[in-house]
Structure 1
């Protein structure tokens, strides 16, 4: 993993969520201040909102592309760390890593990138100036929807602090999971290249379909950060998010009608996975959905390694139910 990310050191842990928790706990001091983005994995945000304040850690939340807000946060707070995904979950917003690295470092702040959606095949954030990169190895790294794990990569000086915290607190990756991750990494480049190609074709197809209201994919010129993605990524990933031209029930009928993708809240595996966030990850809070733009008709589609025509035909028949 260190070779893939061009990192000095990597520590593997029990899950991607624990990788984020261990990194934040080890590197953000009590009373520190962090900056993060509105679009991100929900459980990461819940941890930062609910648990970090218990250590006196405060937080500024910015829109992913709002560099003025980032500069304002850096100017007016003693920021310890900027933690962001790129691409983000679920709208696949992209952050200019080189730009934000320079902004953070000029104020003495660290930059940690959650690169799970990109994988190290499509993006190497450390080479762009990030201090740390984390992955949920559950996703593309292992790649078979059958194991949970996470990792933190970066300068040895920083990863060592995470490792020391990890050795005290636990969250150890079990040996069988380590074996499964090693097995999965042997085909990482093959899987990701296949998923990049199929997802690009799928995004283009969906954007032209009359029953699709909007498509979110950084490979499309219509994406707000397409210009950033095409300069810092070598592929645009295997996840396509889109909004069905229908209401909650019409979208649910679409989800219930697909035959190939599994219904599950993960991504990055050989099998395609599809979910409707309004009844999956955000099922309990319409208020939270509204704040973060999660509409009832939003779909997140993780492309597997199946044939494009099979997947397309499956979506076409399912969209007829909308």
Structure 2
């Protein structure tokens, strides 16, 4: 059940390459094979070789990824799903039942809020939206005894920073679990479990996969009992990652550390240029010293990531900018090696229009890729000139 790789105390980059990746015992292949089998031979009824019986219940390629995920986040258990939302759904259903309440940050991915408000809401789970960067507001909301606090840090799309350790202390004093969506920072930069969070979730589609070629999700946690419940839902509801998806994600993770370093360097350079630009009214990037969460980010993470949000004069200017870049591709998603530009109000966050999470029309979110930074700066400045 446990998917943690107990290695001696080695560096993150080493773990990313080696956790769960032992050479194939049969052939000596350095890269473990992709196991495409849907079922497994039994030596007599119930005699399982290696514990595998059916592809939904388990797959060796998926196990390798789950070991890698748990090890990198410093968790006891890693579980891999068909998408980030499938991972979130299984976790929330394992923890909550009709009548329970959760607190959710006022700046999160639109799909997460849609899942909480419309899917789980229809099932009888209540939610309360709170600014998680305001600890006194969190303290007040905890008086209602929510079961769980859902935090994204850095958040999507405003890149707000939540103090994970302080949030965990508050939540635990009130008997609530803390879940941190670590998609933007990744364990290369931030490890929420070590700061007191109970569960980490990811859209592995983004930086962990890193190449815009696979959709997936992950849950990493410490508690054995809760892990069993999430694993039961993974099996019983069946939203598992397929073997090739798991293998692609594993391959992406091996270069996570070097990618995140370059994403951060490029994003910071771009943010510093955009702060000076007359057409940009505000730059949201935790690496800038005047970002309200900068000091917390310095304390709880080793870098600021590749996501950057800018505010322009108004909605039409933001739309024109998003449609004028050439290197930055206009598309949903983020975290790939190529740079992407997105207008959240009409794309990734359209589902939160008319809710407390509604985003302004004047912002543009940039997923800063690994291209030559001079080319990225030139592309953005040319698009701003066209605005």
Q: Is the 8 A contact 1:265 1:280 kept in 2?
A: yes
Q: Deviations over 1:232-282 (max 9, x none)?
A: 0100010000012x3333322222221101111111110111011233234
Secondary structure of 2:321's aligned partner: helix
Look up the match of 1:202: 270
Say what the alpha-carbon RMSD is for the aligned residues.
1.4
Q: Deviations over 1:284-308 (max 9, x none)?
A: 77534xx436222210000111011
1:278 aligns with 2:339: no
Q: Which runs of 5+ in 2 are unaligned?
A: 1-68
Q: Is the 8 A contact 2:264 2:305 kept in 1?
A: yes
Corresponding residue to 2:309 among 241, 244, 250: 241
Q: Is the 8 A contact 1:32 1:78 kept in 2?
A: no
CA gap 1:278/1:73 in 2 versus in 1, 3 angstroms: closer
Corresponding residue to 1:116 among 174, 180, 183: 183
Secondary structure of 2:354's aligned partner: helix
1:314 aligns with 2:361: no
- Deviation of 1:18 after TM superposition, in Å, equals 1.0
Q: Deviations over 1:4-26 (max 9, x none)?
A: 11100100000011111111001
Q: Is the 8 A contact 1:270 1:305 kept in 2?
A: yes
Q: Is the 8 A contact 1:86 1:93 kept in 2?
A: yes
Q: Is the 8 A contact 2:73 2:191 kept in 1?
A: yes
Secondary structure of 1:313's aligned partner: helix
Deviates more, 1:52-61 or 1:93-102: 52-61
Secondary structure of 1:120's aligned partner: coil
Rounded Cα–Cα distance in structure 2 between residues aligned with 1:82 and 1:248: 32
Corresponding residue to 2:250 among 182, 189, 194: 182
Q: Is the 8 A contact 1:35 1:61 kept in 2?
A: yes
- Deviation of 1:215 after TM superposition, in Å, equals 0.5
Q: If the length of structure 2 is used for normalisation, what is the TM-score?
A: 0.79
Look up the match of 1:151: 218
Look up the match of 1:69: 137
Deviates more, 1:253-262 or 1:36-45: 253-262
Q: Which runs of 5+ in 1 are unaligned?
A: none
* Structure in which a larger fraction of residues adopt helix: 1
Look up the match of 1:89: 156
Secondary structure of 1:121's aligned partner: coil
Look up the match of 1:139: 206
Corresponding residue to 1:16 among 62, 68, 84: 84
Look up the match of 2:366: 301
Q: Is the 8 A contact 2:286 2:293 kept in 1?
A: yes
Rounded Cα–Cα distance in structure 1 between residues aligned with 2:352 and 2:75: 39
Rounded Cα–Cα distance in structure 2 between residues aligned with 1:172 and 1:284: 25
- Deviation of 1:211 after TM superposition, in Å, equals 1.0
1:25 aligns with 2:93: yes
Look up the match of 2:166: 99
Q: If the length of structure 1 is used for normalisation, what is the TM-score?
A: 0.95
